[in-house]
Amino acid sequence: MKNINRGLLCLVAISLLCCVVSAQKTKEEPKPVEEKIPAGSKVFISPIPEFDTFLKDAFKAKKVPMVLVDDKSQADYEITGASNSQKASTAKKLIMGSWHSSEEASINLVNLKSGATVFAYSVHKSDSAHGKKSTAEACAKHLKDRIESK
C-alpha cells in the first residue's frame, strides 16, 4: 500500500511540475508584432555569407514591393538572417541518384525605428535543384505575400 501511495504522490508531483513549467514557458514567449509593412519601404539587406546576393536577386525576380538600399541609414527596415548548405553525400548520389543539395535559410525583417521584428521566415529544402536561389526566392515570395496581404 505504501508503494502505491508513493507512486501516486510522485505522479501528482510530476504533473504539477509540468503544469508550472508549461505556464512559465507560455509567459516568456513574446507575441509577434503585427505591423503593416508598407509597399515601397526602403530595406537594407545585411551581409549574409554566400546568401545576401541571392536574396537581392530574388527580390527583383519575385518583384517584392520594397526598395533595396545599400546604406543602412537610408533604410526603414533591415533584413538579417542565416543560410546553410549541405552538398549531397556520396551515399545520396549512389543510392538515390540525386546530386541536389539540402538548403536552409531564415530571415528577419526589423523595423529600424522601433527595433521590432515585423516578419520572420525560415525555409528548409532537402532536395534543392537550384540551391540557395530556391531558398532565397521562397523568402522573397513569402515577404511579398505578407506585404500585399495587409
CATH at residue 85: 3.30.160.670
* Tens-digit pLDDT profile for residues 61-99: 999 999 999 999 999 999 999 887 666 455 544 455 554
**Do 1 and 71 reside in the same domain of the chain?**
no
Q: Are 136 and 105 in contact (CB under 8 A)?
A: yes
**Do 60 and 18 reside in the same domain of the chain?**
no
**Do 18 and 75 reside in the same domain of the chain?**
no
Handedness of CA 147, 115, 117, 83 (dihedral sign): positive
Nearest to 109 by CA among 38, 50, 26, 54: 38
> Which three-class secondary structure state does DSSP give residue 54?
helix
Q: What is the extent of the structural domain holding 51?
A: 41-149
Would 70 be classed as within a structural domain?
yes
Q: What residues form DSSP beta bridges with 122?
A: 106
**Do 46 and 113 reside in the same domain of the chain?**
yes
DSSP 36: -
> Which three-class secondary structure state does DSSP give residue 13?
helix
**Do 26 and 48 reside in the same domain of the chain?**
no
Q: How many domains does the chain have?
A: 2
Would 36 be classed as within a structural domain?
no
* Tens-digit pLDDT profile for residues 104-143: 888 999 999 999 999 999 887 666 555 678 888 989 999 9
Contacting residues for 73 by C-beta, under 8 A, at least 6 apart? none
The reported pTM is: 0.68
